[in-house]
Structure 1
Amino acid sequence: MPEKKQKIGEILVAAGLVQEDQLQQALKAQNQLGGTLGENLIRMGFISEEALLNGLSEQMGIQHINLEKVEVPSSIQRLVKLETVRLRRLLPIGFEGKRLVVGMVDPTDLSALTEVEFQSGHSTKPVILSAMHFEKALAFFQASGYAAKTLSFQVEKETRKPVQLDKSMEGLLEALVSWKGQDLHLSAGAIPSIRVDNEIRRLSLPALKPDDIEQMIAAVLTPDQKRSFQEAKELDFAYSLHGLGRFRCNVYRQRNSLAFTARHVADSIPSAAELGLPDFLREYALRTQGLILVTGPNGHGKSTTLANLVEAINRERKANVITIEDPIEFTHKHKNSNINQREVGTDTLTFADGLRHIFRQNPDVIVIGELRDYESVSIALSAAETGHLVMGTLHSNSATAAVDRIIDIFPGNQQSQVRAQLADCLLLVFSQRLLLRASGNGRVMAWEKMSTSLRVRNAIREGKVSALRGMMQANVEELVSIDWTLAELVSSGKVKYEEACKYADSVTYLNELLKVRGVYR
């Protein structure tokens, strides 16, 4: 392994993020005052920390991680000596598959990675760590001891409550953000509620009257949206509040009155390390043709995973990417790729209408927010067969169930042909769940996969997909059961055993995996 690649200063100048004279001033200050080059550039006002992290991430093709969104168990900390952490300004974060993720203030320091690999006995994956978060971690270790307890910067639940509540849409959405909730639910006759870590919580407000909800909804809808809702009796739309964030909203009718749901959409797309995504997912996203499905129940992060894959393509490929979403959640800037995002109802009438004309738009990558009907699935399969990469989400309970779900969309006389199509073009089904962390704050991902192979293709063609579930316990590369990742989460202390059992495919198999890892059940 080479000792050093291109220096950080050279990378920043080449990217146009700092000028050569600013670099020289910062280098001089670094010699006099110490610290990293990045710290000196920030202190002198030549660049913000956010711009530094984003610039390095984009130029080097390395993700950056936000320590406020992850936890580092003591078992992970013990893999690397505190002396190495301090001197090399790095931090072990966790595992992605068999690789140890290492947050680094200086991601060009490859000799530091060699040292970590020697100490830990694991191959490594570097991610960029901000100097501010690193210093915060050192302060945590100073106060609590290194490898003595889980490193966590997450805000305690008691501090999440908003200062003031009122029955206005802005006030309720502010409460949603303040509580770090996922969804806001409003119904006539019910107390406003927020879903936090998959648990519904009532706000300290009186039950809403039908007139209350109508007034709140009317305040956020445009005239065109009001007309669409009157015609269809339900409406999906995106809504933004300055200084607060973006929300994916749905209005519908129930018992002759209105009801409303809003989901808070993150301002920026979380990195793969923050989401807990395995490396192979990015590798599949960089393929040039085939079908990738991200599946799972509602509210378990499918759209966020899909946005992360689009961002990986945007960063590492030169491609024309066209998305069809309902509504647009994460917005992408054009980087190495062109990202054209189309919203159903605004830019195209339906998913099917958008897909029907998509081939004339010369796409390399087609992203479908949700595969939900016969026509959109049919066009997606044809596109994946004819040299395009197609990615989309699907509601299903497992990776294998996703295949049956797609087949069942078609009439019986077409299912044999569809099985053959799907067998030929399917690259990967990635099924995910979000589980409550052992600390009680935040959620962590468990996943399973079914990727293309001769045995998977044959099972799909012959209509024997159910047999693949049994093979998932045989430890084959293309079939990984969710029980395997649940066992990893329990053995590392990230998730409680009782929580893992709720999502296990087989509790018996989960117990066997835990015994192998030294966690006896």
Structure 2
Amino acid sequence: MARESAIGELLVRAGLIDSSGLLRAQEAQKREGISLSKAIVTLGLANEQSMIAAIAKTMQIEFLSAELPEVSNDVASLLPAAFCRKRMVVPLSLQGKTLRLALADPVDYATTQDVEFRTGKRVALVVAGQNQIQNLILQMYPEEAAMQPDALGAADVQGEVESVGDAEIEVVDPAKLAKDTKLGPVIRLVNTILSGAAASGASDIHLEPKEGFLQVRYRVDGLLRDVIKVQKNQMDHTISRIKIISGMDIADRRRPQDGRSRLRYEGKRIDLRVSTLPTQFGEKVVIRLLDSKRAQTTMEQLGLTPENRRAFESMLSRAQGMILVTGPTGSGKSSTLYTALNWVKSPTKNIITVEDPIEYQLDGVNQVQINTKAGVTFASGLRSILRQDPNIILVGEIRDHETADIALESAQTGHLLLSTLHTNDAPGTITRLLDLGIEPFLISSAVIGILAQRLVRCPCPSCAVSQRPSAEAIEKAGGVARLPAEAKWMAGRGCGVCRQSGCKGRIAIHELLIVNDEIRELISRRAPEHAIRKAARIAGMRTLLEDGILKAAQGLATLEDVVRVVAADDAAAHTEAATKPESSDLRAPYKRIAPNEPQDEKSAPHVQPVNPGEETGLESGDGSPLAAGEIGKPKDSQGKDRVLVVEDSSTIASVVKYFLELEGFDVAVAKDGNSGLEAARRDQPQVIVTDYNMPGMDGMDMVKALRAEATTRGIAVLMLTSEDNVEKEARALEAGVDDYILKPVEPRRLAARVRSVLARSQRGNTAAAQ
């Protein structure tokens, strides 16, 4: 707790957060039982990368950049995975006798000394974020990866997974999994990948073989993000494990395969659709996660505007006709159709679906799975359904002329038929049906409405702030003239809840085309697409872009994301001429704050060094290097007691210096006994904290030299050592050391001991003066 308090004070000193923000974070830390740094990120006060950069700058040590380095097996073997997980450290590289160590808590003095003792190396500290440490552990120790569910970025994972039967896996208690030695490391790794995806709300998992590793990525809120790299020696085993639980042939690696499995996670049943594809470096695997609870979406949750919702419900209430939902893959078409079926179903209606695959199971609905090997296609399945006295039919997708022709005919013979097409917008659906060879009169008489949709990301509610759209986004949206006069533009800053993305969840934007008499006439005459669009807009249709602009202006999405997923429409031709704004305020772009990020990612090194002054081996109390002629300066103007830290490990010296400065001391640092003796002569510190073993002049020789000179004889000396040796301690005390402490030492205890020897020294000087 003391170390976390120090971290908070450090961030305040660095100007990254203020005192009130620190207080809020400390309250959240106690309330949620999380670390202070996680509380700061979760509250949106700062992101992880900016925190580690601020800590590194203040303590004058290195920090790990966003791009993770490759670590050799020889270096990884210096520390066991269990130790790295427990202490949140990883070894990065070995440079001579110095080990570069990434550490999430740079003021964890005890861990730094433990690593030096374990490895026999001097440690050069590199500050890193917890997520970076966890990802490095997964990358370096794949056999241990499954023991740490959070390392996959799966926030608040409440359980792990294990195989429980044919093609089904279930969540169990993580403590049980940790003790189950029957599960091999690859099984645990795959289970953790799956549970991590479920916990983070991923829609897909991508496992992509590269030349030297297997890259695992999650698609969350429509965008892919890197999660971990599985080492090459585990790559084939990982793919084989996924193929086993999906019912695939693990021996066949030359042909694409499809499989399925099921995951039960936190009370949810998630179907897994698995596909493999041979690539240059091995088999690529994509796993689609289908959460059965997504089929329980209500009409209110679809995101339809009140006008569109009333019109859509009116169409669903018709006894016959075809309603089409269109959009690209992943635009939420299936969710909309299942919501529609839930809305219309009743004990008095017979509802039958034909799907490939059946994504969600619906109570009260008869669902038919396509099976081409058994001769069940969309067309043949639809013919069979018509003999089952249906009221409402859902056809998963219209892919060909035969299916479209049967569907349109059934929509004219007393059936309400719902289906999907892959088109860019609602008017384009008419063109697509014509391209399939359907007669215009059949389309005009059967189709009653077309709903086109896209999914756009929502600003994270935990870190969203008022933020104006960028000039580029406004231009892509059609100019300021298309923006509402009164808008509540929002954008996320990035926090722990949204994993620094600034977005959490998605909302649909829609374009609803209602086929009226005029549009039926246009379809019958094979009118061009733009004529149908114009007629629909005159009748009140709001385009995808317009609906997106409206929702962005309400703070439900960002304009940048709307123009990313929706192509420019021709609606401007039906509005007043766009005019330039009188003020440039709306065109002021916003940028997500990312302090200390390199401008050129390709040329940026993995670690950003902060080099302390080394000309004399000394540093002043404010961290600036001391030149040879500046060593003997008196106390600072605030009258702080000066402490000289003599330590050849720059990492330990930085940590000790930082903590003593927090306790109100003015601290200088010397890197060996010779530099320390010179500093003591010139600077006259009140206390010297010195290591026992150092190259050149060690701590014992320095103490003897200090006591031999009149000008330095009265300086209090506190000695640190990692050797629990009674004889050495006795010799040190006989030589004139005032206190003797074994490493590792808790920093606040060290500060208390410094005060104690300082008080004794001052009392002794007072008594001598009297």
TM-score under structure 1 normalisation? 0.59
Structure 1 equivalent of residue 77 of structure 2:
none
2:322 matches 1:297: no
2:485 matches 1:460: no
**Cα pair 2:518 2:535 within 8 Å, conserved:** no
Give 3-state SS (helix, strand or coil) of 2:434's partner.
helix
* Inter-partner Cα distance in structure 1 for 2:268 and 2:344: 28
Q: Which amino acid aligns with 2:432?
A: R
Q: Decide which of 366, 388, 406 is 1:340's aligned counterpart.
A: 366
Cα deviation for residue 481 of structure 1 reads 1.3
Q: Which amino acid aligns with 2:215?
A: I
Cα deviation for residue 453 of structure 1 reads 0.7
Cα distance 1:348–1:330, how it changes in 2: closer, same or farther (>3 A)? farther
Structure 2 equivalent of residue 182 of structure 1:
203
**Cα pair 1:487 1:514 within 8 Å, conserved:** no
Cα deviation for residue 385 of structure 1 reads 1.9
Cα deviation for residue 469 of structure 1 reads 5.7
Structure 2 equivalent of residue 355 of structure 1:
382
Cα deviation for residue 240 of structure 1 reads 4.0
Give 3-state SS (helix, strand or coil) of 1:489's partner.
helix
Give 3-state SS (helix, strand or coil) of 2:406's partner.
helix
Q: Which stretch of the first structure deviates more once superposed, 392-401 or 170-179?
A: 170-179
Structure 1 equivalent of residue 454 of structure 2:
433
Structure 2 equivalent of residue 21 of structure 1:
none
Give 3-state SS (helix, strand or coil) of 1:191's partner.
strand
Give 3-state SS (helix, strand or coil) of 2:225's partner.
strand
Cα deviation for residue 202 of structure 1 reads 1.1
**Cα pair 2:440 2:523 within 8 Å, conserved:** yes
Cα deviation for residue 328 of structure 1 reads 1.2
Cα deviation for residue 514 of structure 1 reads 13
Give 3-state SS (helix, strand or coil) of 1:509's partner.
helix
Cα deviation for residue 324 of structure 1 reads 0.9
Q: Which amino acid aligns with 1:409?
A: L
Q: Which amino acid aligns with 1:173?
A: L
**Cα pair 1:296 1:397 within 8 Å, conserved:** yes
* Inter-partner Cα distance in structure 2 for 1:325 and 1:216: 28
**Cα pair 1:213 1:258 within 8 Å, conserved:** no
Q: Decide which of 153, 160, 164 is 2:155's aligned counterpart.
A: 160
**Cα pair 1:188 1:207 within 8 Å, conserved:** no
Where in structure 2 are the equivalents of 1:17-166 lying within 5 Å?
A: 160=155, 162=157
* Inter-partner Cα distance in structure 1 for 2:382 and 2:436: 17
Structure 1 equivalent of residue 445 of structure 2:
424
Cα distance 1:196–1:510, how it changes in 2: closer, same or farther (>3 A)? farther
Give 3-state SS (helix, strand or coil) of 1:506's partner.
coil
Cα deviation for residue 312 of structure 1 reads 0.7
Q: Which amino acid aligns with 1:204?
A: I
Cα deviation for residue 213 of structure 1 reads 5.1
**Cα pair 2:509 2:547 within 8 Å, conserved:** yes
Structure 2 equivalent of residue 380 of structure 1:
407
Structure 2 equivalent of residue 320 of structure 1:
350
Rg (Cα) greater in structure: 2
* Inter-partner Cα distance in structure 2 for 1:341 and 1:329: 10
Give 3-state SS (helix, strand or coil) of 2:523's partner.
helix
2:555 matches 1:493: yes
**Cα pair 1:324 1:367 within 8 Å, conserved:** yes
Where in structure 2 are the equivalents of 1:157-236 lying within 5 Å?
A: 160=155, 162=157, 168=187, 169-189=190-210, 190-206=214-230, 211-212=236-237, 214-222=239-247, 233-235=256-258
Cα distance 1:451–1:362, how it changes in 2: closer, same or farther (>3 A)? same
**Cα pair 2:513 2:536 within 8 Å, conserved:** no
* Inter-partner Cα distance in structure 1 for 2:385 and 2:290: 26
Structure 2 equivalent of residue 279 of structure 1:
310
Give 3-state SS (helix, strand or coil) of 1:206's partner.
strand
**Cα pair 1:248 1:329 within 8 Å, conserved:** no
Cα distance 1:215–1:444, how it changes in 2: closer, same or farther (>3 A)? same
Structure 2 equivalent of residue 450 of structure 1:
513
* Inter-partner Cα distance in structure 2 for 1:253 and 1:332: 31
* Inter-partner Cα distance in structure 1 for 2:272 and 2:568: 31
Structure 2 equivalent of residue 100 of structure 1:
none
Cα distance 1:501–1:230, how it changes in 2: closer, same or farther (>3 A)? closer
Q: What whole-Å deviation, never above 9, does each CA across 1:406-456 have from its counterpart, x for those lacking one?
A: 22123xxxx4xx221011000111000111113311111111011111121
Q: Which stretch of the first structure deviates more once superposed, 506-515 or 459-468?
A: 506-515
TM-score under structure 2 normalisation? 0.41
Q: Which stretch of the first structure deviates more once superposed, 437-446 or 193-202?
A: 437-446
Q: Which amino acid aligns with 2:376?
A: L
* Inter-partner Cα distance in structure 2 for 1:491 and 1:475: 23
* Inter-partner Cα distance in structure 1 for 2:255 and 2:521: 42
Q: What whole-Å deviation, never above 9, does each CA across 1:70-128 have from its counterpart, x for those lacking one?
A: xxxxxxxxxxxxxxxxxxxxxxxxxxxxxxxxxxxxxxxxxxxxxxxxxxxxxxxxxxx
Cα distance 1:385–1:207, how it changes in 2: closer, same or farther (>3 A)? farther
Give 3-state SS (helix, strand or coil) of 2:358's partner.
coil
* Inter-partner Cα distance in structure 1 for 2:543 and 2:535: 5
* Inter-partner Cα distance in structure 2 for 1:246 and 1:158: 19
Cα distance 1:211–1:421, how it changes in 2: closer, same or farther (>3 A)? same
**Cα pair 1:292 1:390 within 8 Å, conserved:** yes
**Cα pair 1:322 1:363 within 8 Å, conserved:** yes
Cα deviation for residue 374 of structure 1 reads 2.5
Q: What whole-Å deviation, never above 9, does each CA across 1:298-347 have from its counterpart, x for those lacking one?
A: 111110000000101114x721111011111121112xxxx101112399
The percent of aligned pairs where both chains have the same amino acid is 24
Q: What whole-Å deviation, never above 9, does each CA across 1:212-268 have from its counterpart, x for those lacking one?
A: 35413332234xx759x9999443646343645322514142337543322322332
Q: What whole-Å deviation, never above 9, does each CA across 1:357-384 have from its counterpart, x for those lacking one?
A: 2221111111011112222222111211
Structure 1 equivalent of residue 269 of structure 2:
245
Structure 1 equivalent of residue 12 of structure 2:
none
**Cα pair 2:519 2:535 within 8 Å, conserved:** no
Structure 2: any 5+ residue segments left out of the alignment? Answer: 1-151, 162-184, 461-502, 588-770
**Cα pair 1:295 1:399 within 8 Å, conserved:** yes
Structure 2 equivalent of residue 4 of structure 1:
none
Q: Which stretch of the first structure deviates more once superposed, 157-166 or 378-387?
A: 157-166
Structure 2 equivalent of residue 480 of structure 1:
542
Cα distance 1:509–1:176, how it changes in 2: closer, same or farther (>3 A)? farther
Q: Decide which of 361, 366, 376 is 2:393's aligned counterpart.
A: 366
* Inter-partner Cα distance in structure 2 for 1:350 and 1:248: 22
Give 3-state SS (helix, strand or coil) of 2:228's partner.
coil
Structure 2 equivalent of residue 28 of structure 1:
none
Cα distance 1:406–1:259, how it changes in 2: closer, same or farther (>3 A)? farther
* Inter-partner Cα distance in structure 2 for 1:513 and 1:179: 44
Structure 1 equivalent of residue 319 of structure 2:
288
* Inter-partner Cα distance in structure 2 for 1:246 and 1:513: 49
* Inter-partner Cα distance in structure 2 for 1:428 and 1:238: 36
